[in-house]
A and B are shown apart, each in its own frame.
Chain A
Amino acid sequence: MSVLEARNIVKVYGKAEAEGATTALNGIQLSVTKGEFLAIMGPSGSGKTTLLNILSGIDKPTSGEVLLGGVMLHDMDANSLAQFRRKQLGFVFQDFNLLDSLTVKENIMLPMILEKKSVSEMEEKVQELAGLFEIEDILHKYPYHISGGQQQRTAVSRALVNDPQIIYADEPTGNLDSKSSTTIMECLEKVVKELSTTVLLVTHDVFAASYCQRIVFIRDGAIHSSLEKKSERTKFLDEVMEHLTLLGGN
């Protein structure tokens, strides 16, 4: 069963007929099944962020449609879209996107607070997630007092707090060292395995991508190819590397 369905997505920046128009996406077809751990890879400027923004409703496609959990995204107005996003989607960003004025715990809770959940429910959820990602000890610290890896784990917890259908992660390891990157990817793996939440990852990082079950490669705004993980991770990593040299050497 697919959670996410993208049908023939085209995105043109600027007026289509005009000189400076860029076709960022050109007919993307994508289907993500429930509980899948999917990576989207591609060279810089290939349209990854654009695609993610469209899949999450932040941006509207020039043509094509996005179905999320059976709901058509571009039918919604800005307000209900914002609400839909915080209820049904979770986001992990490269720059963590934590609020400096809130503690780790409060940052995690924030989407629930916006949803006006009860105090006990929120506390319970935070404890559960903090335990899972080993950040119980820093719950009362402020973001500028904890490491990048800890900040990103906070962000992952926050993304999960409303039990979303799917998590979008745009370069979540982009600002992290390799050790922290490993931790974060293990966390996302846990998300898929233990919470059976779908994760869609956009990355440059081959190492990070090797944690996923499937990788979709895009180039110049179109899907170029895809790889399925059939073996263990280290082997898959080699496979991806090989594929990338193939992709890069046009």
Chain B
Amino acid sequence: MTFQKIVWKMAKYHYKKYLFYFLCNSAAVLFIFVFMTLYLNEYIVSVKQIEGLVYVLSIPGAALIMFTIFFISYAHQIFMKKRRSEFGLFMTLGMTNRDIAKLLLLENSVIGLVALIVGLGSGVIISRLIFWLLLKSVDITDFAFQLNVNMFTYTVGAFFIVFIISIGQSLYMTMSRNIIDNVKTEKITENTAHKHPAIGGIGVAIVVGSIVGLYVTYTDSDGGEYLLLWALGTFLGLYIALNQLTSFLIGLIKKNKHFYYRKLLYLTSLDYKYKQFTTIMTIVTIMIMVTLLYSTIVYHLYKETEKEVVEQNPYDIGYISTDSKNNLSAEELDRIFAEYGNPIREHLTFPIYFHFQEDYDGYTYQLALMPLSVFNEFSDNPYLVQPNELIYHLNHEVTGEIESLYYRNDLRFSSNGEEVIYETTQVIAEKHFNYLGDLFILHDADLADYKENINGMDATLHLIHVENWQESEAAVLALEHAFHDYNAKTPLLDVDHVPLEEELFYIDSRVDGYESTMNANGISFFVTIFFSILFFIGSFLLLYIQLFSEVDKEEQRIQKLYRIGITSKEVRKLISQEITTLFMLPTLLGLIIALLYIIAMAQDIGGIVENPLMLVRFFMLAGIYFVILTVFMNFARKKMFRDLVDFK
């Protein structure tokens, strides 16, 4: 049997190890590529500078870079650890260092290449899928999935660099070691140096300090500039703390002997594993934190936008009509909306008197007047207005006290050479009507006087509620067309200073308001959700390789336990506890840090107390995350049981 045959035979026997390594690399390529399809999307590139995207991208960008570098090199290390002891064996059989190096290069380049192809291929599909799902659920119109050469070259380049560095390191280590070291590598398990709780304490202090720092500085608009710095501080502190404190904590637990012995197998195995897994734990914690933080922010903004749009447009549709413009009959309206399956639920009409003035700059503005009787019919509590007095209706909400003096707006005109003043006696600061800006509410008789003296137009304000405003886009568009056709057939208006028809007879609808705000914020929404999904997947990937990379070692341990009489039930419990800890610890940590970040970052919108909904939304998302995590955890547990317990 030749050497090649032996090597090949061993490779076939250990195919799982290769498969695992290959899958990790494919996943890394996929990950980088999906990120690139977003990052190098032409539209994103063009808006990256202008909008706040650079800031949105900073934390996840940093975390993502850390993640991929770590992921590739970690997968490589796991692979090499197992491979190196075999190399030692080959060397004792007479293979030279050069042969080993050749073998190592050969198998790595084959795996790397195939992983690259598979990763890019699946990346195209997955990325397209994410785009499709997101674009479907976030209404953005001017944005689409696209592929360009740079996405591929950058991905290949990034993967190549990290991969080559990992291989170089392994080559160096393999060549510079002697045979015995190579054979024994698996035995010389990470026997890490003693831990220093004091340094761990410093780590905790850095975490706390960075969050407090963020809280204090994140108050005005440019607080975001330091966000990345604070975040890096938190990540670094977290790593130091996790790295130094776990052994220390277990040491503390040891003081309570009763408890310690009872949980001996669990605690020691955790300690033993933790020495190798702090980096993974830190990264998973960070990824969970970033996912939760950003999805909360985005979700909150999203919901707030919707709320704002609803507040800005108390009715689904608002427009004005005159005898000759926009004057469709009620039946006609019903027909249009019914046709689109979105029938009218409520249709209010108000007579309004408009007139137009030019200010000193030649800018035309409009004044709208409503008779008191009409307004009182609409409003819940009847208002009282004396002759020559008026209610100034701001038709928007005001924060703080309404000082009527500040907002008052009197009407003056001359009648028969005499100046008449209608004085503001009340101010209403509420959003009542779509379409309209501020308006004046006058005594019916006063309004009649006014009309006689001021040239304007009688119009009707229409406010409409339909069955479902979110779905009303097409119907509104159809209505617009109908108006347009109608107005084209009627003569132009003859009113002083009248503006263009389009400026007067448009439709002010919720759905359009919603679309335009969504489009303005859409890109940051999109990017953020995209990141959240990537990170979400990434954190699970990491937890998964963490669990199953050492499964053969675990099997040996369980085997030993069986031999001294542990029961299957006890083994299940043990595995269960370990998996739960592995999943829950970073999740809880990430959750707490994300929560603290949200509290700190709420400072620039008036503090978390002012925005309790943000907390509610955070916990809602955290809850969803937990559910998915639990499902995944149960899946991992089942697989673990199958690998370690049930085979008996």
Looking at A35-43, A75-83, A210-218, the stretch in contact with chain B turns out to be A75-83
* Interface-located stretch among B268-276, B429-437, B534-542: B268-276
Decide yes or no whether A4 CB sits under 8 A from chain B. no
Judge if A106 is at the interface, Cβ distance under 8 Å: yes
Give Cα distance in the complex from A85 to B567, angstroms: 10
> Which residues of B559-588 have CB atoms within 8 Å of chain A's CB atoms?
560-570
Determine if B258 is an interface residue (Cβ-Cβ < 8 Å): yes
12 pairs across A/B with beta carbons < 8 Å? A79-B567, A82-B566, A86-B564, A98-B560, A100-B189, A101-B271, A106-B268, A110-B264, A111-B565, A113-B262, A113-B265, A119-B258
Residue of B at shortest CB range from A84?
B565
Is residue B255 contacting chain A, with contact meaning CB distance below 8 A? no
Q: Does A13 sit within 8 A of B, measured CB to CB?
A: no
Interface residues of B (CB under 8 A from A): 187, 189, 257-258, 261-262, 264-265, 268-269, 271-272, 557, 560-570
B interface footprint on A92-109 (CB within 8 Å = 1, 0 otherwise): 010001111110001001
* Contact in complex: B565, A86 (CB < 8 Å): yes
> Which of B187, B189, B268, B566 meets A86, CB within 8 Å?
B566
Which residues of chain A are near B268, meaning CB under 8 Å?
99, 101-102, 106
- Is there contact, CB below 8 Å, between B271 and A114? no
Rounded to whole angstroms, the CA-CA distance of A144 and B188 in the bound complex is 9
Which residues of chain A (112-136) have a CB below 8 Å from chain B?
113-114, 116, 118-119, 122
Q: Given contacts A85-B565, A97-B564, A101-B268, is CB(A114)–CB(B262) below 8 Å? A: no
Main secondary structure of the interface of B (DSSP, over half): helix
Q: Does A207 sit within 8 A of B, measured CB to CB?
A: no
Task: Say yes or no for A156: interface residue by CB 8 A criterion.
Answer: no
Which of A89, A93, A97 has most chain B Cβ within 10 Å? A97
Q: Given the interface contacts A89-B565, A91-B563, does A114 sit within 8 Å of B570 by beta carbon?
A: yes
Which residues from B are CB-within-8-Å of A118?
258
A11 on the B face (CB < 8 A): no
A219 at the interface (CB under 8 A from B): no
Nearest chain B CB to A78's CB is how many angstroms away?
Answer: 7
Q: Which residues of A contact B264 (CB under 8 A)?
A: 102, 106, 109-110, 113
B561 — which chain A residues lie within 8 A by C-beta? 99
What 3 pairs between A and B have smallest CB-CB spacing?
A: A86-B565, A101-B272, A85-B565
The DSSP consensus for interface residues of chain A is: helix
A158 close to chain B: CB less than 8 A: yes
When chains A and B are docked, how far (Å) is the Cα of A93 from the Cα of B559? Answer: 13
Residues of chain B within 8 A (CB-CB) of A98 are: 560
Q: How far is B259's CA from A119's CA once the two chains are assembled, in angstroms?
A: 9
Contacting B269 at CB < 8 Å: which of A58, A101, A114, A119? A101
Nearest A residue to B571 via CB reads A82
CB nearest to A78 among chain B residues: B568
Chain A: CB-nearest residue to B268 = A101
A106-B264, A122-B261 as given contacts; A83 in contact with B564, CB under 8 Å: no
Cα distance, A144 to B563, chains bound together (Å): 20
Residues of B within 8 A of A97 (CB): 560, 563-564
Q: Of B257, B262, B563, which one neighbours A93 at CB under 8 angstroms?
A: B563
Complex Cα–Cα for A158 and B560 (A): 13
Chain B residues near A79 (CB, 8 Å)?
A: 567-569
Cross-chain contact of B261 among A78, A83, A113 (Cβ < 8 A): A113
- Contact status A111-B272, CB under 8 Å: no
Distance to closest chain A CB from B99 (angstroms): 31
In angstroms, Cα B237 to Cα A19, docked, is: 66
- B558–chain A nearest beta-carbon distance, Å: 10
Partner of B187, one of A58, A84, A116, A144: A144
| Complex Cα gap A244–B166 (Å) | 57
Could you tell me if A114 and B568 are in contact, using CB atoms closer than 8 angstroms?
Answer: no
Contacts of B272 in A (CB 8 A): 100-101
Instruction: Determine the chain B residues whose CB is within 8 A of the CB of A114 once the complex forms.
Output: 565-566, 570
Residues of chain B contacted by A110 (CB below 8 angstroms): 264-265, 564
How near does chain A come to B253, taking the closest CB pair, in angstroms? 14
Considering the chains assembled together, what is the distance between the CA atoms of A113 and B264 in angstroms? 8
Chain B residues with Cβ below 8 Å from A102 are 264, 268
The residue on A at minimum CB distance from B561 is A99
A119 touches B261 (CB 8 A): yes
B187: chain A residues within 8 A (beta carbon): 144
Give the chain A neighbours of B569 by CB distance below 8 A. 79
Q: Which of B271, B564, B570 contacts A111 (CB 8 A)?
A: B564
**Residue in chain A with minimal CB distance to B261:** A113
CB of A43, distance to nearest CB on chain B (Å): 25
B181 → A minimal CB distance (Å): 15
Known contacts A99-B557, A106-B268, A144-B187; A82/B261 CB under 8 A:
no
Q: Which residues of A contact B562 (CB under 8 A)?
A: 82
In-complex Cβ contact of B567 among A82, A91, A111 (8 A): A82
- Beyond the given A122-B261, A158-B564, could you list 8 further A-B residue pairs with CB under 8 A, ordered by the A residue number? A78-B568, A82-B565, A82-B568, A84-B565, A87-B565, A99-B268, A111-B565, A113-B262
CB distance from B251 to the nearest CB of A (A): 13
Contact B564 A91 (CB under 8 A): yes
Minimum CB–CB distance from B603 to chain A (whole Å) comes to 45
Residues in A with CB closer than 8 Å to B189 are: 100
Contact with B along A24-59 (1 / 0, CB 8 A): 000000000000000000000000000000000010
- A-chain residues with CB within 8 Å of residue B566 when the two chains form the complex: 82, 86, 114
Separation of A144 and B564 alpha carbons in the complex (Å)? 19
- CB-CB under 8 A from A101, the residues of chain B are 268-269, 271-272, 557
A147 to B268, CA, bound (A): 22
Q: Is the CB of A116 within 8 A of B262?
A: yes
Bound Cα distance A99, B187 (Å): 13
CA distance A158 to B189 in the complex (A): 24
Bound-state Cα–Cα, A79 to B570, Å:
10
Q: How many angstroms between the C-alpha atoms of A93 and B563 in the bound complex?
A: 9
In the docked arrangement, what's the CA distance between A137 and B271, Å? 24
Closest to A86 in B: B565
Cα-based distance from A109 to B564 in the complex (angstroms): 12
CB-CB < 8 A to A119: which residues of B? Answer: 257-258, 261
Rounded to whole Å, the gap between the CB of B640 and the closest CB of chain A is: 18
Q: A83–B562 Cα gap in the complex (Å)? A: 11
Q: How far is the CB of B246 from chain A (nearest CB, A)?
A: 14
Distance, CA A116 to CA B264, complexed state (A): 11
Residue of A nearest to B271 (CB): A101
B570: chain A residues at CB < 8 Å are: 114
Cα A119 to Cα B264 in complex, Å, equals 12
Q: Which residues of chain A come closer than 8 Å to B560, judged between CB atoms?
A: 97-99
Residue among A79, A99, A102 with most chain B CB within 10 A? A99
* A99 neighbours in B (Cβ, 8 Å): 268, 557, 560-561
* Minimum CB distance partner of B264 in chain A: A113
* Cα distance, A126 to B187, chains bound together (Å): 27
Which residue of B is nearest A58, CB measured? B563
The CA of A37 and the CA of B189, in the complex, are separated in Å by: 39
Chain B contacts for A106, CB-based, 8 A: 264, 268
- Residues of A near B567 (CB, < 8 A) are 78-79, 82-83
A158: which B residues are within 8 A, CB to CB?
A: 564
- Report the minimal beta-carbon distance from B217 to chain A, rounded to whole angstroms: 45
Write out the residue numbers on chain A whose beta carbons fall within 8 Å of the beta carbon of B568.
Answer: 78-79, 82
Chain A residue nearest to B560 (CB atoms) is A97
Q: Which one of B269, B567, B568 has the greatest number of beta carbons of chain A within 10 Å? A: B567
